[in-house]
Structure 1
Amino acid sequence: MAFFSRLRLPSLTAAHRNFSTILSADSKTPLSAKDKTRAALSLLKSEQNPEKILEICRAAALTPDLHLDRIAFSVAVTKLSDSNQFSYIKQLLDELRRDRPDLRTEKFAAQAIVLFGQANMVDDAIATFKKHHDDAGSAAGSVKTLNALLFACTIAKNYAEVKRIFVDFPKIYSISPNLDTYNTVIKSFTESGNSSSVYSILQEMKRNRISPNATTFSNLLAGFYKEEKFEEVAKVLEMMKTEYSISPGTATYNVRIQSLCKLKRAREAMALLEKMLKEGPKPNSTTFSELIHGFCSAGDLEEATKLFKSMVSRGHPPCAECYFTLIYYLCVGKDFDAALRFSKESMEKKWVPNFSTMKLLVNGLAGEGRVEEAKELVGQMKEKFSKNAHLWDEVLAGFPQ
């Protein structure tokens, strides 16, 4: 308790005065909420000291209502989790609920539960669920926090807890599961290699008059593909059509394409794209992105490059991940000409591949005697990411003299 008290701030006024200087060197210029979060994100990405990570989060006055703020919370928890600073995660989330009345809500309780799951702190996620229920003071529990807890256990890969909570908590806390509840449990079952158990969940949903949706079946299809039970895949597709009158949409096709690519069956995935182009539904950028990754990981860079060009010609702007995947695998395949071309195109869109990919490209160019081109690229990277300048200096030192 003494340790906990030592880290608490003396007053809200002092907190505001101290924290404003954390996010802005010019404390006379007030930052907007969005600017505070952006400044916090920038600091969090490079900060290693756990106490300073907490100070940054306090300074930004983060809220679960804003997408950018939720990202900042996630980055902070990931940084602390990666360095095994679990007590600081607990302190941060517990302190926010205690000291900020605006965060004593169902919404923040749900986010805190998920963040504990992200850090593999399932016991704390459960404790947060129970505390929120007790604080709410109502007989019926919150299905939103129940779903958050099931999701937290799923991302922590604690599938046994998912099953226990799903069976016990609705009875204990008088909660009626909804579609999100069932979809989360189905995802857990399929991730843990128990896809066949989902059929009993579908029967329960029918008894409770809750209709499955495309997400329900996409999760189930992904599970059967992962287990390579292709007859069950066909059975589920038929069930969707005949029993539930659900036509597979683009998202369902994308799950099937992704699943086949993970199994190194990119040609079969390509056949699904061709079917979409002929019969519908229309593919989107994700469809092409999954296939590009599939062919790249299978070593078929020619087909991946063709797909990239086809994607552009069909009016689907490539996402950053498409560029990064293609550049990386082209470097691995030693096609540094194409990798350089795509990297320039990507950086023109302000999408810069990570250090390890760019290092592959720079060393590849230098190894082919294209030292000046490599140095030019290093100069651009140092200009964009000055914090990594010393790493690029080490790369330059290894160039042929």
Structure 2
Amino acid sequence: MAFRLRHAFRHYSTILSPNSTTPLTAKEKTRSALRLLKSETNPETIVEICRAASLSPESHLDRVALSIAASKLSAGNNFDALRQFLDELLETRSDLRNERFVSRAIVLYGQANMINQALNTFKFMSENLNIVPTVKSLNALLLASIIAKNHKEVTRIYLDFPRIYSIQPNVDTYNLVIKSFAESGSTSSVFSILDEMDRNSVKPNVITINNAISGFYSEKKFEEVEKLMSLMAERYKLYPSLSTYNVRIESLCKLKKSSEAKELFQGMIKGGRKPNSISYFNLIGGFCREGNYDEAKSLFGDMKRRGYRVDAECYFTLAYFLCEGKEFESALEIAKECIGKGWVPNFTTMKKLVNGLVGVSKVDDAKELIKEIKEKFAESSDKWSEIEEGLKPQE
């Protein structure tokens, strides 16, 4: 046994850090595992990396690593490898024989679209590990089904499991069910869920409202949105939070109703509610998708003037759509500002921008942009050199 442990230690350390001569700390193991998992595709190696890092759901970083591993294995249809790995953890690590880990395993199976295995794991916990399931594992099972887009299973679990296992649903349970209804186009059942919450003395929260609103908008049930908002205020004294406004703004923009979303945005401000970066980002993306680039640029400028944090994704989105709209000079300004902050839009967007600048006889600007990218992002210099050599003004 001592020999096997020593051998395992050397083997695992080599996988996580080939050049290290000293044992890694738990955090170092996880960070090394995260780095390796991002590029690894071999299922056996993925499992070995997870074993070596001794991943546990107690740590946030470990949970991220496990999620990446599950996604990688399922993407390659290596479902047996994932099942064997999680089963092995339950069999060999007594510290993981608890509802917390089982709930995490259930969600990982959902990520891998292995709902039958998620259900079996729930039952195994109850029947073989002598762990009494609570609302925690019930909610994990609902979440796993939602992630796997198996909304029929959500309904079955919601209707049957609380009765079979004597579990009292909580607000998270109902929120997950409403989320499932919203994603599956079944929002006609939302108000019946709210009635059941009342009967069970479970008060809705902001997530309840947001999940329902998102579903109503996706089905274009605008009157239901207003009905829900009134109900929340009158019955529960729940008034629109910033996140609720943002859900409404995003939903309207998805429906190409960005002007209505902007009116809601302005009404929110007049009512004393301060927007945030997400509010602006949703509007900018909405107007871009409708081809109203002037409005998108105006909102972008207003966002910066008022001191809101503009993240890389906002720059990338605006640069992409400006290129799509052939507004290459405006896109160039956005790209330069973005690069100045240490970010660069993806290669496809930047190549479109460079070619667009050449197309409007701005070859020097295109070359200057490539030079700046090569200086700040040396890892991509080779492919940019090839493009630079072929730059010629279009006739």
TM over 0.5: yes
Which residue type is aligned with residue 217 of structure 1? I
SS in 1 for 2:236: coil
Query: Which residue does 2:367 correspond to in 1?
Result: 372
Q: Where does structure 1 differ by over 4 angstroms across 4 or more consecutive aligned residues?
A: 365-368, 388-401
What SS does structure 2 have at the residue aligned with 1:243? helix
Aligned-residue offset at 1:400? 4.5
**Please, what TM-score do these two structures have when normalized by structure 2?**
0.90
In the alignment, structure 1 segments of 5+ residues that lack a partner are 1-9
CA deviation after TM superposition for structure 1 residue 15, in Å: 2.5
> What is the root-mean-square deviation of aligned Cα atoms in Å?
2.3
What is the distance in 2 between the residues matched to 1:350 and 1:22? 32
Residue 93 of structure 2: which of 100, 111, 115 is its match?
100
The Cα of 1:103 is off from its aligned counterpart by 2.4
Q: Please say if residues 336 and 369 of structure 2, whose CA atoms lie closer than 8 Å, have aligned partners that are also in contact.
A: no
Q: Distance in 2 between matches of 1:103 and 1:390?
A: 48
1:200 is displaced (CA, Å) by 1.1
Aligned runs of 1:299-338 on 2, under 5 Å?
A: 299-338=291-330
Q: How far apart, CA to CA, are the structure 1 residues paired with 2:119 and 2:220?
A: 34
Give runs of aligned pairs for residues 170-249 of structure 1, distance below 5 A. 170-249=162-241
Structural mapping, 1:132-143, within 5 Å: 132-138=125-131, 140-143=132-135
User: Once the 2 structures are TM-superposed, how far is the Cα of residue 184 of structure 1 from its aligned partner?
Assistant: 0.3
1:54-101 CA distance string (max 9 Å, x none):
222222222222322222222222222222222222223222232333
Alignment partner of 1:281: what SS? coil
Contact preservation (8 Å) 1:77, 1:115: yes
The residue identity in structure 2 corresponding to 1:201 is I
Please tell me whether the aligned partners of residues 365 and 373 of structure 1 are also in contact (alpha carbons under 8 angstroms): no
**Equivalent in the alignment of 1:5:** none
In the aligned structure 2, how far is the partner of 1:109 from the partner of 1:394?
52
Name whichever of 235-244 and 28-37 sits farther off.
28-37
Identity %: 53
Residues 392 and 55 (structure 1), Cα distance of their counterparts in 2 relative to 1, 3 Å cut: farther
Letter of the structure 2 residue corresponding to residue 369 of structure 1:
V
Question: In the alignment, what sits opposite 1:25?
Answer: 18
Change (3 A) 1:339 1:252: same
Deviation at 1:374, TM superposition (A): 4.7
Indicate how the Cα distance of structure 1 residues 352 and 111 shifts in structure 2: closer, same or farther if over 3 A, else same: farther
**Alpha-carbon distance change, 65 to 356 in structure 1, aligned in 2, over 3 angstroms:** farther
Deviates more, 1:87-96 or 1:224-233: 87-96
Contact 2:323/2:331, CA 8 A, preserved across alignment = yes
- In structure 2, how many angstroms separate the alpha carbons of the residues matched to 1:103 and 1:397? 58
Task: Judge conservation of contact 2:171–2:204 (CA < 8 Å) in 1.
Answer: yes
Offset at residue 358 of structure 1 (A): 3.4
- Shift in Å, 1:334: 2.6
Structure 1 pair 71–328 and aligned structure 2 pair: CA distance change class (3 A) = farther
1:358 counterpart (326, 350, 353) = 350
Distance 1:65 1:311, change over 3 A: farther
Contact 1:362/1:377 (8 A) holds in 2:
no
Q: Residues 129, 355 of structure 1: CA spacing in aligned structure 2 closer, same or farther, 3 A cutoff?
A: farther
Please list every run of 5 or more consecutive structure 2 residues that lacks an aligned counterpart in the other structure: none
Paired residue secondary structure (2:133): coil
SS in 1 for 2:38: helix
